[in-house]
Amino acid sequence: MKINIENFKIFYSSFLGKSITQIILKKIHTLWPNFNNSRNAAIGFGFPFLSAFKSNIQRLFFLVPNKFGLFNFFINEKNLTASVQEDILPLEDLSIDRLLVVNCFEYLSDHKKFLREAWRILDKDGEIIIITPNTYGLWRFFYKKKLNSPTTFSSYELDLLLSNNFFTPIKTEYCLFLPPLKNKFLTNKIRSFEVLNNRLTKYFAGLIITKGKKNYLSPVSSNNKIVKQKIRGDIRA
């Protein structure tokens, strides 16, 4: 599927897009409270998010799937942005501490290959955050119409994908409880609404934000027994 990255740029430049960015940033900061001296990468359209923490990061890469088309975001920092093939990332083994997957996972053609590649580039205690539209949320229609999002996930599906591909699910956050509305007054109140509804309606939230940790000792099935197998750093799907 061909995606036009300019659609993301236009959306996140809008009033609604900026409000959503602030909500997501708060959730990221809850899951990753300390960015000091860490090596980070974002794949998809992650510019509005990790860029807010750029001054506290040792190394930062923005990876854009080549199906999105070319987009030069940082005019004076060309080395930070690269167009990539989603299952062959141009990063060395164990070179990243944290990987943010945003505006990406729902567009992937092979989630297993991508997660194996994410496992390869993450360091031994590396962590991944996946942000994706919720199958049960009203925002799935908005993301499909505005950003051509073809797939949605439940928190259970994300946990299962992580567990089956050498990651341990750690925590899941939810956001966007207010339906997508064009009313500027209601949009301006969206962050207050998030606080009131987080515990009540999380299963109907617009976005799911799942954090996983790289699992070096991964359980595999052998003759109906669960055994521990050490995964080598050069594993490939």
SS (H, E, C) 55-97: HHEEEEEEEEEHHHCCCCCCCCCHHHEEEEECCECCCCCCCEE
Torsional class of 156: left (φ above 0), alpha (ψ -120 to 50), beta (otherwise): alpha
Average pLDDT value for the chain: 81
Residue 124 belongs to what H/E stretch? strand 122-133
Is the separation of the CB atoms in 12 and 32 below 8 Å?
Answer: no
Is the per-residue pLDDT at 215 higher than 70?
yes
Is the per-residue pLDDT at 195 higher than 70?
no
What CATH fold (topology level) applies to the domain 5-230? Rossmann fold (3.40.50)
Is the per-residue pLDDT at 219 higher than 50?
no
Say which residue, 177 or 96, is predicted with more confidence.
96
pLDDT of residue 188: 62
The letter for the amino acid at 63 is L
Tens digits of residue pLDDT in 56-115: 788 888 899 988 876 666 544 545 788 899 999 999 999 999 999 999 999 999 999 999
Say which residue, 112 or 5, is predicted with more confidence.
112
Is the per-residue pLDDT at 206 higher than 60?
yes
Q: How far apart are CA 161 and CA 169, in angstroms?
A: 9
pLDDT of residue 162: 97
Q: At what angle do helices 15-31 and 190-197 cross, to 10 degrees?
A: 40
Most confident of the following: 46-55, 177-186, 209-218:
209-218
| Burial class of residue 225 (count of CB atoms within 10 Å of its CB; 0-12, 13-18, 19+) | exposed
Tens digits of residue pLDDT in 20-60: 998 999 899 999 988 888 899 999 998 888 777 777 788 88
Is the separation of the CB atoms in 66 and 3 below 8 Å?
Answer: no
3-state secondary structure 145-199: HHHCCCCCECHHHHHHHHHCCCEEEEEEEEECCCCCCCCHHHHHCHHHHHHHHCC
Beta bridge partners of 16: none
Is the separation of the CB atoms in 31 and 211 below 8 Å?
Answer: yes
Say which residue, 166 or 15, is predicted with more confidence.
166
Q: Closest by alpha carbon to 125, among 3, 13, 221, 212?
A: 212
Beta bridge partners of 127: 98, 213
Residue 227 belongs to what H/E stretch? strand 225-230
Query: Could you tell me the pTM of the whole model?
Result: 0.85
How far, rounded to the nearest angstrom, does the alpha carbon of residue 205 sit from its chain's CA centroid?
A: 16
